[in-house]
Homo-oligomer: A and B are copies of this chain.
Amino acid sequence: MSTAVSPLAPTSYPDMPEIEGVAFATAQAGIKYKGRTDVLLAKLAEGTTVAGVFTRSKCPSAPVDWCRSILARGTARGLMVNSGNANAFTGKKGKAAVKLSAEIASKALGCAEDEVFLASTGVIGEPLPAEKFEGVIAGLAALEQQATWLEAAKAIMTTDTYPKIATVTVELDDQSVTFNGMAKGAGMIAPDMATMLSFLFTDAAIDAKVLQALLSGETDGSFNSVTVDSDTSTSDTVLLFATGAATARGVAPVTALDDPRVPVLKAALGDLMQNLAQQVVRDGEGARKFIEVQVEGATSDASARTIAMSIANSPLVKTAAAGEDANWGRVVMAVGKAGEPADRDRLAIWFGDVRVAVDGERDPDYSEDAASAVMKKDEIVIRVELGLGEGTARVWTCDLTKEYVAINGDYRS
């Protein structure tokens, strides 16, 4: 397992405002890792609403099944997350482990079992020894030793080289309303969907149906627009909790999608999710380059997105980036294989500000030096103009390095 922090990691962590109605505690349950925290308990105020989006995998983990089964209720009082074991493909033992986890957490939090959301991340196929939660979670009940956002984010890491947190504050009814979030994920990252765990919290009071619409609406442009390796986890989970604590400060509850404040919330949530999604790519296993792929002029946004993902997932494009090789022919290849409308002879490609190809051939002013200079940077923008329509997309990925192979050739956790 890699230990050095990704060179693409943010250089500092944001100051995270408190979100009233959310309290964290972490502990060492010893599920797999030694000498670090591996379980996170979040206590949520009464009245907290919840929304969720989950992996589209046909082989989801037991905790994903659990979250889906209790989501309709729309309210939550707790969240328990462990790292080191995904409780995925664990059959009846997996269901029993989920049941025991919910029991332990609900007893500690003083709420019903189906008010506790669960997530697990780590190795697939190993039974989760949920009984290990018993002692440590009971001890956290009082939540006297409250953990910070950073500590909470650290407890849910697996191959992550740094914890991922972000915050956005907006004005609502002349009051500050906050969205805070955390995420984990470094491999098995691809769209459909989040390919990792992310937990988002706000103190706004938002009706569960509105909350779900907001979360679902912002997923495509954030967590579904990043890819490390085109692999989709069995455990992908994004949960958004709204404690409603801001009502005490005079922020009226949001109960309908046509509320004029919804666009403000939507923008804030979108920013938060895009920030966290990009942090996941920046921690992509073995990543040394952060790559933004922009596709313009497609016949539709969906078509642009398919083409952008074809480029972002291409091993040949990603290895070229690793080798700092301005190999735009591989971008042509990836456009061509996407199966979407494209006209070879209208295609133009940029690396950064350098146009390398136009009208279906190499740019007449092509400069290998200029293109190579772009490739040497830590952050690379690849832009493709199809010249067919108005469809656009923007997705993020990282390069494919020998370290990715090394990490995944050894890693079993």
Contacts and interface: CB of A to CB of B under 8 A. Distances in A.
Interface in A367-411: 400-402, 404-406, 408-411
Interface string A301-331: 0000000000001111001101101011110
A139 interface: no
A340 B299 CA distance: 27
Given A59-B332, A337-B57, A319 B408 contact: yes
Chain A at the B interface: mostly helix, strand, loop or mixed?
loop
B91 A342 contact: no
Nearest to A344: B59
A338 to B, nearest CB: 7
B361 A231 contact: no
A89 interface: yes
Contact of A234 (B60, B92, B332, B341): B332
A333 B402 contact: no
- Taking the full assembly, how many copies of this chain does it contain? 2
Interface residues of A, number: 73
Given A229-B315, A359-B91, A123 B323 contact: no
Interface stretch (A161-169, A173-181, A184-192): A184-192
A124 B326 CA distance: 12
Contact of A125 (B323, B329, B405): B329
Interface of A: 55-60, 86, 88-94, 123-127, 187-188, 190, 192, 229-234, 313-316, 319-320, 322-323, 325, 327-330, 332-345, 347, 357, 359-362, 400-402, 404-406, 408-412
21 contacts: A57-B337, A58-B336, A58-B339, A58-B341, A58-B342, A59-B336, A59-B342, A88-B329, A89-B362, A124-B330, A125-B357, A127-B362, A188-B316, A229-B315, A230-B315, A234-B336, A316-B408, A320-B409, A323-B408, A325-B409, A402-B405
